[in-house]
Amino acid sequence: MNRRMLLSGVLALPVAACAGAYSDLPIATAGPTDRYTLGPGDSIKIAVYGFDAMAGSYTVSDAGTISLPMVSTLSVAGKSAPELEAEIAAVLRTRDLAPNANVSVQVEKYRPFYILGEVQRPGQYPYVPGMTVLTAVSIAGGYTFRANKRVAGVERMSGTTRSKARLEADSSIQPGDTIVIPEAWF
């Protein structure tokens, strides 16, 4: 009887140790679909009604800024489209460039997401709103035979803070996420 208990304990240790670093992390919260914030790599379209000189597409730089004609450089990282609309309108009013400015900002192209680990084709892929871990894995060619299909890790930027969390297959992902599919040991 004691041998059986000892053997069970010895076998349970590697299984517990192999549960993976991601099983200890908190589960990531749902993606902010209602308030997307801009970040490096996003491509946005700006239209200012009555002021065509500013209309166009702009890509957010690695520094989190965009350069607008007659306005100079604006910091946009961490701001939502409505917040950026209000900021541009305020700058145009302050400088008397467009006193009744009506600004529209739309995300044309989201920054990519990255998927690493036990997938067929790890790498960078374009983000599409509504993506989950499972759709990201599918885009990357599916799981390898060694993949842990129950859990994934994510590294996510929130403003200037990078955090790590655990994801499940039906968890939403966000632009800029780095998803890691760990190896399954058993």
Instruction: Walk me through the domains of the chain, giving residue ranges and CATH numbers.
Output: 20-34+112-181 (3.10.560.10), 43-109 (3.30.1950.10)
Tell me how far apart the alpha carbons of residues 58 and 107 are, in angstroms, rounded to a whole number: 10
pTM: 0.72
Tell me how far apart the alpha carbons of residues 139 and 154 are, in angstroms, rounded to a whole number: 17
pLDDT in tens, the chain (186 residues): 554 444 334 333 333 333 455 555 545 555 444 578 898 999 999 999 878 888 899 999 999 999 998 888 999 998 999 999 999 999 988 988 888 889 999 999 999 999 999 999 999 999 999 999 999 999 999 999 999 888 899 998 766 677 888 888 888 999 999 999 999 886
Q: In the block, which residue shows the tokens 């701001």?
A: 79
Asked if residues 58 and 46 have their Cβ atoms less than 8 Å apart, the reply is yes
